[in-house]
Structure 1
Amino acid sequence: MLRRLALAAALLASLPAYAQLPDTLNQALAANGIPADAVGMLVLRGNEVVVAHNANQAMAPASTMKVVTTMVGLEQLGPVFRGRTELRSSGEVKNGVLKGDLIVRGGADMDLSGEALENLLRALRYQGIRKIAGDIVFDRELFNPARSDIGLAPFDESPEAYYNVIPDALLINKNMLQIDMRSSGKKLKLEMQPALDRVSITSDMRLIDGDCAKWEDGWKLPEALTDKAGRIKVVLHGTFPRNCIASNSINVVDRNDYLDRLLRLKWKQLGGTISGQTVEGHTPADAALLASHVSRSLPELVRDINKPSDNTLARTVFLSLGSLESDPVLGSHPLPAVQQTTFVRSDQAVRGWMRAHQIDDTGLVLENGSGLSRIERITPRQMGGILEAGLSSNWAPEFQSSLPIVAVDGTMRKRLKDSPAASRARLKTGSLHDVAALAGYVPDANGKLCVVVGMVNTDLVAHGKGRAVLDALVDWVARSGGPVQQPVAGSQPAQTGNQQVAK
């Protein structure tokens, strides 16, 4: 492995500044009106640099940044890593009463759901507890800061959408409410899951004549209103087509309210009572473990990150790099406490791994590890180095199986169906309003696995133009590797910045 890493590092370090792209890719750029300096590309075939165009230029990667987070996550945290949620208390149990606070301790459990919470509370009932005489304490202090979502400006105009959920160490159901909307000609009926204590849903949405398939066109930002008695009303706004059925998941209830009201309702349904309030706090050293829940193992979660491009899960893994380490018995346990923020430790973990694999981290900018960022940057060379290291990783099968299969599943399921890359290439996608990107592995015409990275950074990516260029790159790689074709006499491919000769 060390020899392979050394060869890969030498290969990447030797990339020249300028050369030419294949004619096919130059034509794709011209056809879509995308300037060559807005594109970064790298193709590696074993020890051969096949294409390198602007490979040393730091670019916005969008969700291909998840390649970095998941690869480093598997290597640093390991395949048996699991997040944990614990119920603890320093109080004693006497005559069915827990005489003390019940602490809900967050441990980056990415599978914490309403069902998991109910099972945790049921474990308390099995221990004979029917009344909690103290407070409910939410311990989110694994991450520093515990609530990075507070005071943060919305990323875009849809802060209620799932892709915008900012994780914490004690996030349940991803803080989402599932809303079922059913309209007749005159009435809109709403249902909400999960049910929360003293939380209701209503709407001032106006029914219109319209296409049910386009119901989202009339959607406006919902809100959660709290009255003086502490009741919360979720209010939907906008328009909705008549005689239409649709559903949506929204993040509008504060996460403390969400968890508190879900916990209290489920505890009540189990026949329990609570006398205290709900507060945020920390777990005392003498607090005994009463019940615990662990997430699925990291390889399963990595698949759920990369196939559908899940931002919240990716951000949780990134923060876990700076707060947790693998435990073969418990699944994970916290790292020793330090004054640094979790982000700083996570950033150091990624850079330390890269340097250990002889990948220069100059120009790398991390914000949350998901690519949902205006400032994250990485060079195609760095991304290619990470993918090269992934081929030699002990966890290469787990990592590769997490990437979307071209024309089959995940975010690549509808692309390149008529290409030889279909069903063979595995590629992580990335997309923002001014970014289109791909990173992964593409077998060439001889079955030789190639590392492929492509990034387009320009407002011209709209209307699929950037995607068309990247698809042309993947298709070209999948068809390459056969006999070398002689150039047409007199042809002079355009010289464009920071490229490597294509072979």
Structure 2
Amino acid sequence: MAPHTPPIPTPVRELMQAHQLAETDLAFVAFALDAPGERLAWQAERAMPPASTMKSLTGIVALDRLGANWRGRTELLAEGRLQDGVLEGALVLRGGADATLDWNALHGLLRQAREAGLRELRGGVRIDRNRFKPAREDVGAAPFDEAPEFPYNTRPDALNLNGGELTLRLTGSASDVQARWAPAWSGLTVDAGAMRPVERRCTDWEDGWQTPSVRADAAGVRVTLAGEFPRDCQVAQNLNLIDRQQLAAQAIRQQWQELGGQLAGEIVEGRAAADARLVAVHQAPPLAEWLRGAMKRSDNPLTRLLFLELGASHPRAGEFTSTRLAADAALRDWLREQGIDDKALVTDNGSGLSRSERLSPALLAGALQVAAGKPWAPELESALPLAGRDGTLARRLKGTPAEARARLKTGTLRDAVGLAGYLLDGRNRRWVVVALVHTERAAERGRPVLDALIAHLAAQR
């Protein structure tokens, strides 16, 4: 691009004026990888909310530090004597940042224990979430927004069983609304008697949703629904409503019984004994495989899980008061090793679902530039949404020069939007680009401006 080119391209500036965006609302940097010194930049050093573009930095550091083949794992361990199928001590379920530990995976672990000869668990079951510090970030945490029960808001832990969520199936008819849990674990009930069936499009069912009330006692957990739901509509929605320890306990009891086992004693939280013996293991797919899905659909809980694993894997993890602080150090250590100034970085959970996280376009562009030269660069690029084709970019940039030629991580919050990644221009040169907008109604006003910038860069010859 010619040196005299104005920092903000004319079509982008015109669109900013049309959407009443001030020049200070936009920050970006873009350069061809074969000519990084010839860059187009505006406020490139300014620290701004990255929204979910933050996930690309977490993913980059994880691929380099943990490796594309790193696999989280869940272990079942036995404590005490095992004789004639009777385990005198506890059976321990220990979490290890396994991104794919769902109900079926739990059943497989318990089945392995039965096949290893365990029948009766006299010492109960202990759930060990202590790979991260604190073990339960969700306890007492302030909600991010007014919908804490929806999956994007879930705070992961080291076990992360089914993401801490349970599926609610809702069916509306002319006269009432029916609800049931799936799976239907015993001790967990749901009452939809107060929900009103209304005339509304099924796709807009959330418009009538109200946060349910939850009551737990010795008999189990009862969830009471309220609000409205469309007639002739069926929805299956994962929700984070039931305390994860109660949810895990119900699942373990029922699955162990279904496998022909007996369980005496309580299901509690705690650490595995140092001499506990390994009984069964479940491993997640390699990082490069599940990162692809997490990045394309911008999965907050899975990225937060990865961020925490970076902290747990830090060589000096024990020196920090929390795993999140260790994860922050992991990102900063990596940036400094690459010669990237980290002063613009403010971390919270590594996913961008935060009002406090900050980074500059220059910082993130530097990380993307380094990543492009790494052996795992293809794994990173394949994880990024492809413009106009898949993930969070499936419906964006269609019919522009960037369609199918840009791989970009999107970011959206109420007051922040962004794009970060790579694109090919009209001469098939690869570019790094990071662009952020921070303003009110950012999705409505800023997203068209970002798309115009990407389209302009992709059209360069």
Q: Once the 2 structures are TM-superposed, how far is the Cα of residue 123 of structure 1 from its aligned partner?
A: 0.9
**C-alpha spacing 1:335/1:277, structure 2 compared with 1 (3 Å):** farther
Q: Which amino acid letter does the alignment assign opposite residue 195 of structure 2?
A: M
Which of the residues 91, 102, 109 maps onto 1:102?
91
Task: Determine if the alignment matches structure 1 residue 179 to structure 2 residue 160.
Answer: no
Q: Which amino acid letter does the alignment assign opposite residue 395 of structure 2?
A: K
- Corresponding residue of 1:238: 227
**In structure 2, distance between residues paired with 1:36 and 1:171:** 43
Contact 1:195–1:262 (8 Å) recurs in 2: no
**In structure 1, distance between residues paired with 2:203 and 2:274:** 54
Aligned pairs, number: 455
Q: Which amino acid letter does the alignment assign opposite residue 97 of structure 1?
A: V
Q: Which amino acid letter does the alignment assign opposite residue 422 of structure 1?
A: E
Indicate the SS of the match to 1:414: coil
Contact 2:133–2:322 (8 Å) recurs in 1: yes
CA shift digits 1:388-409 (9 cap, x unpaired):
0111111100000000000000
Task: Determine if the alignment matches structure 1 residue 298 to structure 2 residue 287.
Answer: yes
- Comparing 128-137 with 188-197, which one deviates more in the overlay? 188-197
Indicate the SS of the match to 2:41: strand
CA shift digits 1:286-310 (9 cap, x unpaired):
1110111111110012112210000
Q: Which amino acid letter does the alignment assign opposite residue 454 of structure 2?
A: V
Q: Whose RCO is larger (CA < 8 A, sep 6+)?
A: 1
Indicate the SS of the match to 1:237: coil
**C-alpha spacing 1:74/1:102, structure 2 compared with 1 (3 Å):** same
- Corresponding residue of 1:499: none
**In structure 2, distance between residues paired with 1:80 and 1:128:** 32
- Corresponding residue of 1:449: 430
Q: Which amino acid letter does the alignment assign opposite residue 373 of structure 1?
A: S
Q: Which amino acid letter does the alignment assign opposite residue 58 of structure 1?
A: A
Matches within 5 A, 1:347-496: 347-462=328-443, 464-480=444-460, 482=461
Percent identity, aligned pairs only? 41
**In structure 2, distance between residues paired with 1:128 and 1:207:** 51
**In structure 2, distance between residues paired with 1:153 and 1:467:** 29
TM-score, normalising length from structure 2? 0.96
Contact 2:176–2:195 (8 Å) recurs in 1: no
Output the aligned Cα RMSD: 1.6
**In structure 2, distance between residues paired with 1:336 and 1:220:** 41
Matches within 5 A, 1:7-46: 20-45=7-32, 46=34
- Comparing 157-166 with 280-289, which one deviates more in the overlay? 280-289
CA shift digits 1:386-441 (9 cap, x unpaired):
11011111110000000000000000000011101101110000000100100011
TM-score, normalising length from structure 1? 0.88
Q: Which amino acid letter does the alignment assign opposite residue 138 of structure 1?
A: I
CA shift digits 1:76-102 (9 cap, x unpaired):
000121111111122121111111111
Indicate the SS of the match to 1:353: helix
Q: Which amino acid letter does the alignment assign opposite residue 68 of structure 2?
A: P
Indicate the SS of the match to 2:27: strand
Task: Determine if the alignment matches structure 1 residue 128 to structure 2 residue 117.
Answer: yes
Q: Once the 2 structures are TM-superposed, how far is the Cα of residue 36 of structure 1 from its aligned partner?
A: 0.4
Q: Once the 2 structures are TM-superposed, how far is the Cα of residue 189 of structure 1 from its aligned partner?
A: 2.2
Matches within 5 A, 1:273-292: 273-292=262-281
Q: Once the 2 structures are TM-superposed, how far is the Cα of residue 146 of structure 1 from its aligned partner?
A: 0.7
CA shift digits 1:118-149 (9 cap, x unpaired):
01111111122111000211111100111111
**In structure 1, distance between residues paired with 2:432 and 2:335:** 17
Contact 1:408–1:422 (8 Å) recurs in 2: yes
Q: Once the 2 structures are TM-superposed, how far is the Cα of residue 49 of structure 1 from its aligned partner?
A: 3.0
Based on CA coordinates, which of the two structures has the bigger radius of gyration? 1
- Comparing 179-188 with 33-42, which one deviates more in the overlay? 179-188
Q: Which amino acid letter does the alignment assign opposite residue 27 of structure 1?
A: E
**In structure 2, distance between residues paired with 1:309 and 1:153:** 22
Structure 2's unaligned 5+ residue stretches are none
